[in-house]
């Protein structure tokens, strides 16, 4: 719902910045959550780590009750059928395909970063936490800066992100045993991957300004399905063919996302 919320809170030209702020919260959370979760899992076990979420969830719920602005629904609007009707528009279907390929490629690799770091790179538990922290910090920085790039060169930014991530996946195949190089590459990956959702939420807001809620719901479904497909396929390849094949699959999917995004941009200009 972030795209629909941003459209109702700020002028159209400020939507990318608003979405960057929204996603900045997610990025900031990963700065703390990933390394802290890794540390807690190693010290108090996964049950203890999960239990730590309970007070945080309660605080977040109370905070939202007092901080979220009141936004009355548009009573003049009427339901216009299933959200799947949006797929009848070719630009929506093609754009969501590009988005789906991106998230499949991202999670075909990133889901298995921990076993890669432990088994291939050979980092310790503390080293793993530090790398995850670096990924989170880089992601937060990327989210803060991506709105400027989106306003300047929207589709070029959407294409450059998966292109660079595919390049990183390829470089990891070559330098996977070098801890410092891997840490730098994964930090760059985190910067790009965490910033990318801001671009795709901006795309849905621009493509469906009058139907952003339905479009946002459809995009969430596509993203979740893509994450499931990417992580599952990546896991099967990781187990049966090795980490090199899984990372190679990630690169191929990301390059496919670049191609479909390019086609989407040309379709929009017609």
CATH number at residue 143: 1.20.1250.20
Q: Dmax of the chain from CA atoms?
A: 60
With respect to residue 97, please indicate whether it lies within any of the assigned structural domains. yes
* Predicted local distance difference test score (pLDDT) of residue 237: 95
Count up the domains in the chain and report the number.
Answer: 1
Whole-angstrom distance, CA of residue 216 vs CA of residue 110: 24
**Distances from the Cα of 231 to the Cα of 115, 183, 226, 234, 253, angstroms:** 13, 21, 8, 5, 12
| Residue 6, in any domain of the structure | no
pLDDT on residue 95:
94
**Is 1 inside a domain boundary?**
no
Q: 222-249: b or e for each residue (b if 16 or more CB lie within 10 Å)?
A: bbeebbebbbebbbebbeeeebeebbbb
Task: Provide the residue range defining the domain that includes 44.
Answer: 13-69+85-269
Q: What is the pLDDT of residue 30?
A: 67
pLDDT of residue 12: 67
Residue-level pLDDT at 7: 67
* Residue 177 domain-assigned (yes or no): yes
Can you list the residues of the chain whose pLDDT is less than 50?
Answer: 75, 78
């Amino acid at each position: 719902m972030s795209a629909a919320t941003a459209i109702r809170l700020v002028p159209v030209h400020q939507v990318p910045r608003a979405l960057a702020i929204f996603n900045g919260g997610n990025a900031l959370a990963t700065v703390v959550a990933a390394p802290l979760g890794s540390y807690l899992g190693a010290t108090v076990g996964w049950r203890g780590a999960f239990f730590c979420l309970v007070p945080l969830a309660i605080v977040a719920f109370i905070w939202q009750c007092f901080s979220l602005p009141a936004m009355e629904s548009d009573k003049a609007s009427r339901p216009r059928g299933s959200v799947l009707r949006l797929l009848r528009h070719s630009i929506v279907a093609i754009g969501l395909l590009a988005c789906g390929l991106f998230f499949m490629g991202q999670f075909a690799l990133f889901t298995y970063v921990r076993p890669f770091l432990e088994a291939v790179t050979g980092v310790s538990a503390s080293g793993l936490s530090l790398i995850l922290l670096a990924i989170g910090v880089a992601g937060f920085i990327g989210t803060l800066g991506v709105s400027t790039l989106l306003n300047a060169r929207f589709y070029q930014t959407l294409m450059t992100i998966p292109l660079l991530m595919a390049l990183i996946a390829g470089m990891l195949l070559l330098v996977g045993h070098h801890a410092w190089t891997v840490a730098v590459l994964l930090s760059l990956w985190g910067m790009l991957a965490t910033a990318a959702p801001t671009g795709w939420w901006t795309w849905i807001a621009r493509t469906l300004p009058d139907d952003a809620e339905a479009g946002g719901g459809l995009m969430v479904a596509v993203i979740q399905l893509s994450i499931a497909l990417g992580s599952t396929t990546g896991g099967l390849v990781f187990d049966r063919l090795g980490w090199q094949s899984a990372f190679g699959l990630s690169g191929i999917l990301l390059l496919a996302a670049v191609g479909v995004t390019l086609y989407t941009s040309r379709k929009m200009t017609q």
